[in-house]
Amino acid sequence: TYQKGYDRLLPILAQIHNLTGFQWSLTVAGVGPQLHTLEKLTSDLGLANCVNFIGWSSSVNSLIQDSDIFLIL
pLDDT tens, position by position, for the chain (73 residues)?
578 899 999 999 999 999 998 888 999 999 999 999 999 999 999 999 999 999 999 998 999 999 988 887 7
Task: Tell me how many helices (H) and strands (E) the chain has.
Answer: 3, 2
Per-residue b or e along 20-31, where b marks 16 or more CB atoms closer than 10 Å to that residue's CB: eeeeeebebeee
Nearby residues of 73 by Cβ (< 8 Å), 6 or more positions away: 4, 5, 6, 9
How far is 17 from 25, CA to CA, in rounded Å? 10
Quote the pTM value.
0.84
Q: What is the pLDDT of residue 13?
A: 94
